[in-house]
Amino acid sequence: MKIAVVGTGYVGLVLGACLAENGNDVTCVDKDEAKVRRLRRGLMPIYEPGLEEMVRRNRAEKRLEFTKDLPRSVRAARIVFIAVGTPQHEDGSADLTHVLAVAREIGQAIDGYKVIVDKSTVPVGTAARVRAVIERETNHSFSVVSNPEFLKQGAAVEDFLKPDRVVIGVEDEKAEELMRELYAPFTRTGAPIMIMDCASAELSKYAANAILATRISFMNEVANVAEAVGANIDHVRRAIGSDRRIGPSFLFPGIGFGGSCFPKDIKALIKFAGDNGYDFQTLKAVDRVNEAQKVRFVAKLESHFGSIKGKTIAVWGLAFKPRTDDMREAPAIALINHLLRAKAKVQAFDPQAGSVAAGIFGRKISLARKSYDALKGADALVVATEWNEFREPDFGRMRKLMKTPVVFDGRNIYSPAGMKAQGFTYYSVGR
Ligand code: NAD
């Protein structure tokens, strides 16, 4: 099938590459000229495991191309995906400027029946708005589909190729048939394609992110109670996670959630629920707890040192989670800003997000090229992201490099007893 994907970010690029991988003819459109130029030269704008090889392979097979030319790509396609960003407005609502601008351009370009698929995460009612915007521009017939994306950054290719389910909101049977055909190769293992109305599809995406964020904030609070009463959150987590009604995922406490989705999506859900007369109280608490969790962790450094002014703090991990270079809303940003405000010196390392961090902090922090380089002369190490390579370090080498052997583990990747035996003063979350 001929497909156009508008927006070549974390979602659009993965979507385009995976659709091409299954034999479709895909054109990825982006308004960012530099990005398109780099992609044409085979350079990835983001880090996502397995993506680069897939893009290279499908470009070589001429099933995947990159362009700025939206009208031509739309005219050539049967299905057009909108996968542009929906950032957060100041009032918490989702900013639909990019989505609606793309809808208008699509309306101006179409020359026959097309299926327009909203892949971006958008509030309930957006499919109807996209329809209205396109109708203002054209008399050609088209269908609007809401097809939210559930991939996880860091495992995006794998998730897209083997989804748990595919959610498709439709208004008519013709679009449903085309979408079923498009997704058939991805659901051969039995994953269901769930057909529903657009409003339900749109709400499903927000509800999914909201329940995951809720689990994290909930477990952060249980961990805080564990600290207060002398319990160990690892035991508690295993005890509750083995209950089949609860399950083991998303029960790990830490320094708060971040990323380009959870923080903005829960705020958007709170906002559009409120706009429709419903006060979403649980989610408001989830958001508050998340902010408090970041501050609570920094307070541990302050209470250890008395003052962190003039201290050298090493930070391992900057991306909001492992296996990505994405630092949008990463807890490490709040942490580092706090350390800088308190006049500490920050030496940081991340396996993939170094250049993103350089763009955010400039010369305010020093970025190490290797994990151990960040430890030189450090008064303490903070682990902010649980990259695998931090899990089994050479503790002897760490001790030698650091001025004092103090570790603040925001992701609970080390064992308290093991760290004590290695001679470290060790702080973690809920243990
Ligand atoms: P992103 O910021 O990485 O990418 C968006 C891309 O769209 C950019 O390359 C930008 O240049 C391009 N763009 C913006 N306006 C355009 C226009 N008018 N024409 C052409 N291109 C345009 O965003 P992302 O992380 O890929 O997220 C996209 C959407 O998917 C968001 O709504 C997000 O909430 C949702 N989502 C994201 C994830 C994730 O893990 N990142 C997962 C599921 C859903």
Q: Which residues contact 285 (CB under 8 A, 6 or more apart)?
A: 217
The rounded Å distance from CA 98 to ligand 1 centre is: 9
Q: E strands, 36-154, where?
A: 64-67, 79-82, 114-118, 142-146
Atom of ligand 1 lying closest to residue 7 CA:
7
Atom of ligand 1 lying closest to residue 156 CA:
40
d(CA 345, CA 358): 15
Provide the pLDDT confidence category of residue 427 given band limits of 50, 70 and 90: very high
pLDDT for 4-22, tens place per residue? Answer: 999 999 999 999 999 999 9
Regarding the beta carbon of 86 and ligand 1, being less than 6 Å apart is answered yes
Residue 127 in tokens: 């499919």
Which ranges of 342-384 would DSSP assign to H, the alpha helix? 354-361
The rounded Å distance from CA 264 to ligand 1 centre is: 13
Q: Which of 5, 8, 11 to mutate to test the pocket of ligand 1 (most atoms within 8 A of CB)?
A: 11
Nearest CA to ligand 1 atom 12: 7
Check residue 35 and give its pLDDT. Answer: 98
Q: Taking all residues of the chain, what is their mean pLDDT, rounded to a whole number?
A: 97
Regarding the beta carbon of 256 and ligand 1, being less than 6 Å apart is answered no
Regarding the beta carbon of 204 and ligand 1, being less than 6 Å apart is answered no
d(CA 174, CA 170): 9
Average pLDDT over residues 140-162: 97
Query: DSSP class of residue 195?
Result: E
Contact 253, 411 (CB under 8 A): no
pLDDT for 126-139, tens place per residue? Answer: 999 999 999 999 99
Provide the pLDDT confidence category of residue 366 given band limits of 50, 70 and 90: very high
Query: DSSP class of residue 277?
Result: T
Check residue 139 and give its pLDDT. Answer: 97
Check residue 18 and give its pLDDT. Answer: 98
Regarding the beta carbon of 83 and ligand 1, being less than 6 Å apart is answered yes
pLDDT for 162-207, tens place per residue? Answer: 999 999 999 999 999 999 999 999 999 899 999 999 999 999 999 9
Check residue 387 and give its pLDDT. Answer: 98
Provide the pLDDT confidence category of residue 93 given band limits of 50, 70 and 90: very high
Check residue 222 and give its pLDDT. Answer: 98
pLDDT for 195-242, tens place per residue? Answer: 999 999 999 999 999 999 999 999 999 999 999 999 999 999 999 999
Check residue 121 and give its pLDDT. Answer: 98
> Exposed (0-12), middle (13-18) or buried (19+): which is 337, by Cβ within 10 Å?
middle
Q: Which of 84, 86, 119, 121 to mutate to test the pocket of ligand 1 (most atoms within 8 A of CB)?
A: 84
Regarding the beta carbon of 9 and ligand 1, being less than 6 Å apart is answered yes
What is the percent of the chain where pLDDT is above 90?
100
Average pLDDT over residues 110-125: 98
Provide the pLDDT confidence category of residue 431 given band limits of 50, 70 and 90: very high
Average pLDDT over residues 44-66: 97
Average pLDDT over residues 370-395: 98
Check residue 243 and give its pLDDT. Answer: 98
Q: Which of 5, 6, 10, 327 to mutate to test the pocket of ligand 1 (most atoms within 8 A of CB)?
A: 10
